[in-house]
Structure 1
Amino acid sequence: MKRRMTGLTAMAVLAPLTLTACGGGGGGSAAGGDVESLTVVDYYNNEPDKTLVQEAIDRCATELGVTIERETVPGKDLIQKVLQRASSKTLPDVLMIDNPDVQEIAATGGLSPLSEYDIDTSGFAEGMLEAATYEGDVYGLAPTANTLGIFYNTELLAAAGVEPPTTWDELKAAAAKLTQGETYGLAFSGIATYEGSWQFLPFMWSNGGDETDLTSPEVAEGLALWKELVDSGSASSSVINWSQADVKDQFAAGKAAMMVNGPWQIPALQENPDLAWDSVQIPVNEQGQTSIAPLGGEVWTVPVTGDDAKQAKAAEFVQCISDDENQLALAEARYTVPTKTTLAEEYVTRVPEMESFTEQVANARSRTGQLGEQWPEAATVIYNAVQLALTGKASAEEAFEQASAG
């Protein structure tokens, strides 16, 4: 989720190119022959993720009896890289992409459905399978997922006599009581990017709203909550400019008692030994509602290269990197959540600080589940509406009407 690839409309050129592309540009096998090597492209180009993912890749290379030629690129450059390699007929054998982009790329004909290789996709979290599905076919698997939750400073809450909130009313009351001096009760990202939309989704979805009707009362109520938090001073007006990394910095510095954020921030929080924190699921409007947050995570796919043997071996790689051993190893090392629901109990035993996020993933939802390829348009309306409401240019009820018209 932290990355959003641009220029996807240009992917339309990919379909005719992939039909004639040769076998992944890697060393060699004709269709039907033995496969000795595979090429892989992903965007884990920063440490420690780069090395941690390499360990999983190496495990699968050994298991499949192949060598792996891996290329890592910045997330913002991935689509351009794929287009260049499609044009030169050197597509990778395995392509890792952000889950909201799978449907858009699958629609071009550039990916091969896993059903062609008898890959077992049962047992995976429903939301993640939904993200990887286009027109009834599953196009990839994700070893792990991430999502959002509420981090809270345990010492500040204890000193104020505040319990971690489970409802919106409790969240407002807690944020108000925790706002003291230079410390705000709550921090979140309302920035005018996909990050702002991503952070708003739990408040929209858990209240019964969705992206098919952004002008519904349920959606407006979620935005009204955010607006009330800012207008009352329980959250800083600067949230309109804060990325999720900025929100983490505020929380780590003690300038926010609670924050909306994801488990990828845990390593940074652990760098401050004096910071005591815990987490809970995103609060719901009313007791009895299910807390529903968006799914983040990357999907490993099989591009159409024209080399049947390599595509089959690439599908085996996708299955391998998503097996139980790799899911648990990657999740434990990277503070993500295994996407096989049967692994949840063992994972929480190994990494207890991930309990609330593991619970949240069980009911998490794909961003592209409702609108598919049209999701980016809805995401843009959402963050524009958030900006209108939090800057006082529109009420929560009017903001989505204005953003949709714009």
Structure 2
Amino acid sequence: MQHRCASTTGGAPGRAPARPGRPVSRRAVTAAGLLAPLAALLAGCGADQGSTSPRTLRVLDTYTNDPDRTVIGGALDAAAKKVGVTLERVSVAGDSLIQRVLQQGSSGTLPDILMLDNPDLQQIAATTALRPFDEVGVPTDGYTEGVTSAGTYDGRVYGLAPTVNTIALFYDVRALDEAGVAPPTTWSELREAAGALTRGSRYGLAFCGNATYEGTWQYLPFFWSNGADERDIATPEAAAGLDLLAGTVADGHASTSVLNWSQADVKDQFVAGRAAMMVNGPWQIPELESVEGLEYAVVTLPVRDPAGQRPVAPLGGEVWTVPATGDRSKERLAGRVLAEFLSDESLVSMAAKRSTVPGRPALIEPFLERRPEMAAFADLVRGARARTAELGAEWPATATALYTAVQLAVSGQATAQDALAEAQEYV
């Protein structure tokens, strides 16, 4: 994800942050001069931001398009009103956010409230550019393990995602009915279904296997659900998941174009009737619901052995943070705004309007009363895993290795096992 992806972020138009993100490298952070000197720099930078009122807070995010821009803006304004402050909000393109944050950090002009794609948080927190939530009064209890992990650096929470997303299997109900195919629950059923559904110009399955973090994001459920571990990617467990994806292409049941498709492209193939099933995220739902005559449903992604495995999906979504500006009064006000922004009512409302899932399990049932079609995603989110949970700030190198392996195996340049072994050498 991402997405949107939140990489981020990967692919939905107008929702860049929701796709799986493109985390900044440690080299880039160091080059920006942030690692050691930032704490000292920020200690005296509060006065540099005196152009705004003491009760005006600056906000930076990447929600440039609706509905996200309006939904998030409304929730932020409501929270600010309760605290008694005003907001000056700037939204920038997702692919420019990190460079802007690095520049602002080195010049002492960070905003008071900052949104980051969740895989970026640990690397930015490592620069001392963020305040831990226990210092600014933001409650951190009640979130899923994945959400908490995504917002944690060195044992302290620096950010939280109000709503989150992941990926699942969408299918064309009419196509499966006509072929007499049930929604697959196992890898073998997925491969068989892809074959039975491939006819004429329509492939059975579409997924994103491109050379970006989107390609990694879409491989991760098959990687993690089969017991693979990012600390050693060249294992039989990892190879089996990659062989499943590569096999659908080799069989002619998925297009070789998956090597170049974004998640938005995958959605376009599904909408056009050129794919009967697709791997994708809930940010596509608003557009799918607007397509006349399209009847679709969503199920969790299949696992190799349902008797001993459950789907483990990657966690997508954006975390909200309080930068270390050096103005402790404003930092506390920013914490109060985020505490209101992350209230129960606010989370459920944002999730329902944005086709995402609340980050707190206690809110999922009331959310599903408003959005029952999100049930598969809600189920996956409960156990979704943060991409940085295992490797922290070192995740980007492995993410790159994984999408490199996907490219090698799906293109037929190497077996899945050899592709992962080759990619592992660069981690």
Q: Give the TM-score normalised by structure 1.
A: 0.95
Residues 129 and 241 of structure 1: CA distance in aligned 2, closer, same or farther (over 3 Å): same
Distance in 2 separating the partners of 1:341 and 1:23: 41
Quote the residue 1:196 is aligned against: 215
Instruction: Tell me whether 1:10 sits opposite 2:28 in the alignment.
Output: yes
2:105 touches 2:129 (CA, 8 Å); kept in 1?
A: no
Match of 2:155 among 128, 136, 147: 136
Aligned to 1:329: 349
1:298 maps to 318
Q: Does 1:280 align with 2:280?
A: no
Structure 1 position 28, deviation (Å): 5.4
Does structure 1 retain, via aligned residues, the 8 Å contact 2:137–2:336? no
Offset of 1:27 from its aligned partner?
A: 5.3
> Per the alignment, in what secondary structure is the counterpart of residue 46 of structure 2?
coil
**Would you say the 8 A contact 1:23–1:310 is kept in 2?**
no
**Contact preservation (8 Å) 1:5, 1:75:** no
Match of 1:43 among 53, 62, 70: 62
Equivalent-residue separation in structure 1 for 2:181 and 2:279 (angstroms): 17
Equivalents in 2 of 1:155, 1:126: separation in Å? 37
- Alignment of structure 1 residues 145-160 onto 2, 5 Å: 145-160=164-179
Q: Do the aligned residues in 1 keep the contact of 2:164 with 2:381 (CA within 8 Å)?
A: yes
Aligned-partner Cα distance in 1 for 2:283–2:222: 20
Report the equivalent of 1:25: 49
Does the 8 Å CA contact 1:6/1:76 hold for their aligned counterparts?
no
Partner of 1:60: 79
Identity, in percent, stands at 51
Q: Which sections of structure 1, spanning at least 5 residues, go unmatched?
A: 30-34
CA distance in 2, matches of 1:24, 1:320: 27
Task: Please report how far the alpha carbon of residue 155 of structure 1 lies from its aligned counterpart in structure 2 after TM superposition.
Answer: 0.7
| 2:125 alignment counterpart | 106
Change (3 A) 1:303 1:24: farther
The alignment's C-alpha RMSD in Å is 1.5
Q: String of CA shifts for 1:148-199, please: whole Å, max 9, x gaps.
A: 0000001111111111111111111111111111111110001011000000
Q: Distance in 1 between matches of 2:288 and 2:311?
A: 24
> Following superposition of structure 1 onto structure 2, how do residues 109-258 of structure 1 map, counting pairs within 5 Å?
109-258=128-277
In structure 1, what is the Cα distance between the partners aligned to 2:72 and 2:365? Answer: 23
- Structure-1 separation of matches of 2:326 and 2:420: 45
TM-score (norm 2): 0.91
Alignment deviations for residues 301-342 of structure 1 (CA, whole Å, 9 cap, x no partner): 011111111111111122221111111111111100000100
Q: How many residues align?
A: 401
Task: Check conservation: 2:26, 2:393, Cα contact below 8 A.
Answer: no
Task: State the shift of 1:6 in Å.
Answer: 4.3
CA separation in 1, counterparts of 2:265 and 2:73? 29
Structure 2 CA distance for partners of 1:282 and 1:205, relative to 1, 3 Å:
same
1:287/1:23 CA distance change after superposition, 3 Å: farther
Per-residue CA deviations over 1:31-81 (Å, capped at 9, x if unaligned) read xxxx52211100111222111111111111111110011011111111222
Query: Which runs of 4 or more aligned residues in structure 1 lie more than 4 Å from their structure 2 counterparts after TM superposition?
Result: 5-8, 26-29
The answer to whether the Cα contact below 8 Å between 1:24 and 1:39 also exists between their aligned partners in 2 is: no
Deviation per CA, 1:225-263, whole angstroms, max 9, x where unpaired?
111111111111111111101100000001000000000
Equivalent residue letter for 1:127: G
Q: Provide structure 2 residue ranges, at least 5 long, that are not aligned to the other structure.
A: 9-21
Q: Is the 8 A contact 1:132 1:141 kept in 2?
A: yes
What is the CA–CA distance in structure 2 between the aligned matches of 1:405 and 1:68, rounded to whole Å?
47
Report which stretch shifted further, 327-336 or 1-10: 1-10
